[in-house]
């Protein structure tokens, strides 16, 4: 007779993506700080190209573009303002291959908003960013560069099964996780077309963060509800256009198109979200909306 038993990690096969211990997010925080520290001397383009993969993306001017298109590598312009940023919130996947950092941004000494960076571990062990985006959410009152960021706790360990006495990897992996999150994105889009506030609240993680400019980052259920009231009542979210998932299948980031109406005028842009597998299923731990530039005024 074939016997099956369910057991929690860390019992695993050597080739399985699961880890016995949760990796430390410190290398991601250190990479973000080194990335920021290079900007004053190397310039924005130099630092952004140094710390990114060649196919890393930004969303700028209403388009998804590669880093080299937004920041062509070259001499630093003489009039380039000083760009500073620092981490306030960070985390890492259980497989130690994907993580994120987000925090305050200052331009010319004036706090202007927040960045959000997705980091991926490279074959040589270094960390490079694969997505970087900004939000106009106020950074006026967030902790400064001298403070340590809040670290997102890991989600629950996934399960493995024992088949005839041998452990068999039953974790979903990155492809299954991506498919599951795409399904959640479709559910969110369906709900947001009717009532975006209720749709978002149903999927936001209690320990997540929501950027609704120009408000400060919303942290906690009450803050989520208040911030979401600042967005239009409905959104038309397109399907997931891209993103990535951790090897363990516990952390996924996505982006896609968004359309809405503001003051009677149609607007477009992109959403970017970070999802974590939690006890209650997939939850959004960070969400931002990046509006495209408004259309020019008639006759302009």
Instruction: Tell me the domains of the chain and their CATH numbers.
Output: 26-151 (3.10.450.50), 171-291 (3.10.450.50)
User: Binning pLDDT at 50, 70 and 90, where does residue 172 land?
Assistant: low
Per-residue pLDDT, averaged over 185-207, amounts to 98
Given a cut of 70, whether residue 225 has pLDDT beyond it is yes
Name the pLDDT band for 8 (thresholds 50, 70, 90).
very low
Question: What mean pLDDT do residues 140-145 have?
Answer: 96
Tokens of 195: 């009532």
Please tell me the distance from the alpha carbon of residue 286 to that of residue 218, in angstroms, as a whole number. Answer: 10
Residue 113 dihedral angles phi and psi, to the nearest 5°: 165, -150
| HSE-up of residue 121 (Cα within 13 Å, Cβ side) | 21
Task: Please report where in the chains the tokens 């493995």 appear, as a residue.
Answer: 160
Only one residue has tokens 């250190």, namely 30
What's the pLDDT at 297? 64
DSSP, residue by residue, 231-286: S-S--EEPPP-EEEE-TTSSEEEEEEEEEEEETTEEEEEEEEEEEEEETTEEEEEE
Buried b (16+ CB within 10 A) or exposed e, 273-298: bbbbbbeeebbbbbbbbbbbeeeeee
Percent of the chain whose predicted confidence (pLDDT) is above 90: 79
**What is this structure's pTM?**
0.89
Count of CB atoms within 10 A of residue 213's CB? Answer: 19
When pLDDT is averaged across residues 233-247 and rounded to a whole number, the result is 96
- Give the model's confidence band at 2: pLDDT under 50 very low, under 70 low, under 90 confident, else very high: very low
Q: What percent of the chain has pLDDT over 70?
A: 87
């Amino acid at each position: 007779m074939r016997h099956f038993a369910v057991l929690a990690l860390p019992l695993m096969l050597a080739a399985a993506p699961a880890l016995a211990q949760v990796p430390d997010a410190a290398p991601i925080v250190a990479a973000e700080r080194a990335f920021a520290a290079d900007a004053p001397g190397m310039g924005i383009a130099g630092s952004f190209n140094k710390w990114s993969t060649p196919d890393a993306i930004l969303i700028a001017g209403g388009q998804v573009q590669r880093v080299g298109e937004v920041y062509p590598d070259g001499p630093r312009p003489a009039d380039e303002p000083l760009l500073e940023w620092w981490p306030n919130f960070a985390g890492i996947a259980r497989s130690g291959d994907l993580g994120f950092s987000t925090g305050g941004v200052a331009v010319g000494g004036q706090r202007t908003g927040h960045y959000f960076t997705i980091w991926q571990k490279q074959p040589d062990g270094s960390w490079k960013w694969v997505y970087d985006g900004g939000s106009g959410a106020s950074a006026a009152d967030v902790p400064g560069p001298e403070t340590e960021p809040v670290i997102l706790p890991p989600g629950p360990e996934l399960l493995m099964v024992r088949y005839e006495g041998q452990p068999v990897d039953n974790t979903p992996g990155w492809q299954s996780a991506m498919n599951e999150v795409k399904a959640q994105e479709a559910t969110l889009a369906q709900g947001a077309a009717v009532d975006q506030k209720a749709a978002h609240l149903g999927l936001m993680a209690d320990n997540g963060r929501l950027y609704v400019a120009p408000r400060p980052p919303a942290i906690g259920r009450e803050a989520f509800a208040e911030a979401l009231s600042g967005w239009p009542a409905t959104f038309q979210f397109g399907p997931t256009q891209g993103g990535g998932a951790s090897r363990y299948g516990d952390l996924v980031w996505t982006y896609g198109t968004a359309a809405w109406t503001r003051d009677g005028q149609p607007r477009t842009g992109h959403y970017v979200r970070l999802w974590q597998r939690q006890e209650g299923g997939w939850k959004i731990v960070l969400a931002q909306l990046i509006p495209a530039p408004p259309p020019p005024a008639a006759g302009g």
